Amino acid sequence: MSEANSGRAAQRILATTVAAEWVDYNGHMNDAAYALVFSQAVDALMAVIGLDGAGRERHAYTLYTLETHLCYRREAHRDQPLTVEVVLIDRDAKRLHAFFSMLDEAGECLATSEQMLMGIATDSVRPGPFPEPVAARIAALPHSGDGAWPALAGRRIAIPRREAST
């Protein structure tokens, strides 16, 4: 359980290692590589809920990413092991609001990615409800619960301003 999820149940869905080509001129993992790892985590989540290649074909259904908010917390370096865990913040008949945490080998949070994923019927390329077997697997995923979001979820980008003192 990562600090990012503040004690919430989460499921580990991906393990990888920082590849040499992911390291930039600053000597740590490039920002695009963090996005790549979280994209791979979405693919892993899809497999967990029955939407691997065979499942996508069988159900004529997939997930699209509508929005993502990636937050960098610590540097990752070449050959460093990484894991990604997920907890669902919310869901409805065709959308998932998911919170992913990237962890180092000690369980320290390196980055988070909050994502809105939309279920798409591939025959119409339109949003549609999750197929029943997929919905059942989604129901079995860890959920944060009403009003109990992970501590790092729901952030917005803004420059903090101090009021001028008189």
DSSP 79-124: T-EEEEEEEEEEE-SSEEEEEEEEE-TT--EEEEEEEEEEEEETTT
121 or 158: which carries more pLDDT confidence? 121
Confidence of residue 158 (pLDDT cuts 50, 70, 90): confident
Measured distance CA(105)–CA(121) in Å, rounded: 38
Confidence of residue 7 (pLDDT cuts 50, 70, 90): very low
Highest mean pLDDT among 6-20, 38-52, 152-166: 38-52
The predicted pLDDT at position 1 comes to 42
Rounded CA gap, 129 and 132, in Å? 9
Reported as a single tens digit per residue, the pLDDT across 14-64 is 999 999 999 999 999 999 999 999 999 999 999 999 999 999 999 999 999
At residue 3, does pLDDT exceed 70? no
Separation CA 15–CA 26 (nearest Å):
24
The C-alpha R_g of the chain, in whole angstroms, comes to 17
* φ and ψ of 127, to 5 deg: -60, 145
61-119 pLDDT tens trace: 999 999 999 999 999 999 999 999 999 999 999 999 999 999 999 999 999 999 999 99
